[in-house]
Amino acid sequence: MRAPALPTDPEGLRPIGALPKILIAGIGNVFLGDDGFGVAVIERLSRFALPEGAVLMDVGIRGLDLTYALLGDYDAAILVDAVRRGYAPGSVCVLDPEDPTEPRSEDETNPAGLLDAHAMDPVKVLAFVRQSGSQLRAMRVVGCEPLTFGTDDEPALGLSAPVRAAVDLGAQQVYALVAELQRSLRDTPRTGAPRHA
């Protein structure tokens, strides 16, 4: 005899009480030195058991693939990438794209950065996927200050020493964010206007 189905949320998307589904996406080009930070963190996380509801995605430079993924059945997303903030190379930070004090991209030819993952502006990606019907309710960026992306004349293959040393901390930040987002979103309904975590 089949067990009775669990009650679902008002949209029938997932059983009530189920942990929020969180996409963890590593962004970057492994042939541009420290730009491969996000991919390295995803590779590190893939070696360990993830919390229930967390899904890894190695995006690399496929911005459209990430956009399609964000239009799926996710409650939140954590993007992992090299981010220039003016800190010492290897510094890891957590950014909230909906924080009004964060800088914004002004590239009008590629407004959300969807055509180039290295140029993605998380706040515009978040706005775009919400306007397209996504149920995404929160996004965070785990960023690492790069030392070098190399040059056309001198490509930088592999991470620099300070960024390589920051991969474990980046992975730890992702684990902490998954727990934080699942806690804050678990009892928040997915209907109506998105609520920000």
Q: Residue 91 above 80 pLDDT?
A: yes
Residue the block writes with tokens 């934080």: 180
Mean pLDDT of the 2-28 span: 64
Query: What does the mean pLDDT of the chain come to?
Result: 79
Tens digit of pLDDT for each residue in 133-166?
A: 777 888 899 999 999 988 877 878 889 999 999 9
- If we measure between CA atoms, which residue out of 19, 20, 17, 26 comes closest to residue 174? 26
So what's the pLDDT on residue 169? 97
Answer with the residue of higher pLDDT: 15 or 152.
152
Tens digit of pLDDT for each residue in 96-140?
A: 877 776 655 444 434 444 445 555 666 677 777 778 877 788 889
- The pLDDT-based confidence of 70 (bands split at 50, 70, 90) is confident
Please indicate, yes or no, if residue 91 is contained in any of the structural domains: yes
57: tokens are 């995605």
Please indicate, yes or no, if residue 65 is contained in any of the structural domains: yes
Full-model pTM: 0.78
> In the chain, where does DSSP find H-type helix?
37-45, 63-70, 122-131, 161-165, 167-185
Please indicate, yes or no, if residue 2 is contained in any of the structural domains: no
So what's the pLDDT on residue 119? 56
Report how many domains make up the chain.
Answer: 1
Write the CATH number for 164: 3.40.50.1450
Please indicate, yes or no, if residue 13 is contained in any of the structural domains: no
- CB count within 10 Å of CB 8 equals 12
Please indicate, yes or no, if residue 89 is contained in any of the structural domains: yes
Please indicate, yes or no, if residue 81 is contained in any of the structural domains: yes
Please indicate, yes or no, if residue 48 is contained in any of the structural domains: yes
Mean pLDDT of the 27-37 span: 91
| Containing structural domain, residue 163 | 22-100+111-185
Please indicate, yes or no, if residue 12 is contained in any of the structural domains: no
Contact 138, 76 (CB under 8 A): yes
